[in-house]
Amino acid sequence: MDGFLSEVGKKVTDRWLTRIVLPGLLFVVACAVAFAPGRTGAVDVAATVDWLERLRTGRYASPSGKAAALVILVLAVAASALCADWLASGVGRLWAGRSRTLRRAVRRLRGATELPDRATRIGSRLGAVEERIRVQHGVHMSLVWPRLWQLASDGTRQEVNAAWDRYAAAALRTAWAVPYAVLAATALWWPALVLAAGLAVTGVREGRTAVTALAVAAEAAVDTGLKGLAEVLGVTLRHGRVLPADGALINELLHKGR
């Protein structure tokens, strides 16, 4: 148990460093370079160092000033990282493509008469998995997944978690494009615009790759675990596997009469 807790603590620390501290610190450094007084070029290291040195030896020279500077730095890093993390959840919802406004916009662009079920390529990939599972087994993914997760083996959970972590990291990388774009607009600093574009492009590309792995892992977890769920629920499988008629019974049981 001690070894397990130590490993979990190590993973939490690694994620905290990679997801919050380092990206937030890099953004704060970019802000310092962009807003350095007397900057003569896109990246004026001398002006930035001189500005920070004047702050260190002037306003923040006293012990209390140094402590205040450290607090300000920590708060700036945390605020920028938390903002990006909040934006990442929005990116995830956008990628899911379920927004009615977005679906209407896609319908107008395509000249279609009906709203698409999903408005994005990533959302369509996830929707295709749900549809195949519904057609093949007759179950609703939203109903069976929480129960399947409880019954899943450690190997299955690790595979799904790894795919999800990669997908979440791609969404977070895309979300970081927003603060850099704001920095570019407020400081009129073109390197931030380049960084924003790079983060957005690579984030979306990685998101499309990650969602494929996530969809495959999730579908495999359903295919291999659904029979066990049926047994737990007391559903008799007449053909040794979950067919649409069996899936309808599973849905009814999980709906609990609602």
pLDDT of residue 16: 60
| Stated pTM of the model | 0.82
Ramachandran bin of 97, using left for φ above 0, alpha for ψ from -120 to 50, beta for the remaining angles: left
pLDDT of residue 2: 34
Per-residue tokens: 198:
């790079």
What's the maximum distance between 2 C-alpha atoms anywhere in the chain? 81
pLDDT of residue 145: 92
DSSP 24-77: HHHHHHHHHHHT-TT--SSS-HHHHHHHHHHHHHTTT-SHHHHHHHHHHHHHHH
pLDDT of residue 212: 93
- Looking at residue 101, its amino acid is T
pLDDT of residue 120: 83
pLDDT of residue 107: 76
Are 254 and 144 contacting, i.e. CB atoms less than 8 angstroms apart?
yes
- Looking at residue 109, its amino acid is L
Mean pLDDT, contiguous 10-residue spans, the chain (258 residues):
36 58 88 82 76 68 73 84 88 83 77 76 88 93 91 91 90 93 92 95 94 92 93 90 92 81
Are 227 and 242 contacting, i.e. CB atoms less than 8 angstroms apart?
yes
Domain residue limits, the chain:
2-255
Q: Pick the closest to residue 234 from 219, 249, 216 (CA basis).
A: 249
pLDDT of residue 211: 92
Contacts within 8 Å (CB) and 24+ apart, 147-152: 147/229, 147/232, 147/254, 148/221, 148/222, 148/225, 148/226, 148/229, 149/221, 151/225, 151/228, 151/229, 151/232, 152/221, 152/225
Q: Pick the closest to residue 164 from 221, 119, 124 (CA basis).
A: 221
Task: Identify the sign of the CA torsion 148, 153, 159, 164.
Answer: positive
Residue 122 to residue 207: CA distance in whole angstroms: 8
Please write down the HEC assignment for all residues of 142-200.
HHHHHHHHHHCCHHHHHHHHHHHHHHHHHHHHHHCHHHHHHHHHHHCCHHHHHHHHHHH
pLDDT of residue 77: 85
pLDDT of residue 36: 82
Which residues does 128 contact at the CB level (< 8 Å), separation at least 6?
Answer: 215
